[in-house]
Amino acid sequence: MSGTAVLLSGGLDSAVLLADEATRGEVQPIYVSVGLAWESGERAMVSRFLAHPRLDGRVRPLVSLSVDMRDVYAATHWAVRGQPPAYHTADEDVYLPGRNIVLLGKAGVYCAAANLDRLVLGTLEHNPFPDATPEFRGAMARALTLGLAHDLRIDAPYSGSSK
C-alpha cells in the first residue's frame, strides 16, 4: 500500500495541510511527542480537528509516536519550561535544534513499517532553520530510503508560502 502521511502538530499550518492532502485521497496523520510543554494543548487541538465531520472517510486514525528530547534541550529552554517567547524574539532564540530531524526520522520509520511512500510537513517559506530547507528534506528522504530499504518522499507543499 502506498499513501501519504502528514506530520500533524495541532497548529494551523499542519491542519490546513492535512485537510488539503485529504482532498486528494486518504491520509495518515502522525503526531510526534518530544516532551515539550505545549504538547497537551496540541493534542487537544488535534483531537478536536480530527473529529470534524468533513474529514470522515479521508483521514485514518491518528498515529501517536514519541521521542523524548528533554534530555537534549536545556531545562531552561522556553519550550521545556512552557514560557513562550515574545512575538519579535530572534529566530536563534526560538530554535529547537534537530526538531525536524527527530520528527521526520521517527515518522519515516513508521511510514516504512506502514508502507507509506510520502511524508509531508507544514514548513512555511519564512522558516530560517537548517532543517527546514529543500536540501535537508531531500537528504533526509535519501537517508531514510537507504536506511530503511523503503522509497520515501518528503514534501513540504507550503514551503513557498507564508501565512
pLDDT tens digit sequence for 85-111: 888 888 777 788 889 999 999 999 999
> Average pLDDT of 131-155?
96
Q: Which of 14-18, 23-27, 129-133, 139-143 has the lowest mean pLDDT?
A: 129-133
**CA 89 → CA 41, 78, 92, 126, distances in Å?**
22, 12, 8, 14
Any idea which of 59-63, 98-102, 113-117, 143-147 has the lowest mean pLDDT? 98-102
Tell me the three cell numbers of residue 16: 490546513
**Is the pLDDT assigned to residue 1 strictly greater than 60?**
no
> Looking at residue 123, what is its pLDDT?
87
- Evaluate if residue 163 carries a pLDDT over 80: no
| Per-residue CA distances from 145 to 66, 118, 137, 141 (Å) | 21, 11, 12, 6
Residue 51 has pLDDT above 90, yes or no: yes
What is the pLDDT, as a whole number, of residue 125? 82
Instruction: Give the chain's largest Cα–Cα span.
Output: 44
Provide the pLDDT for residue 50: 95
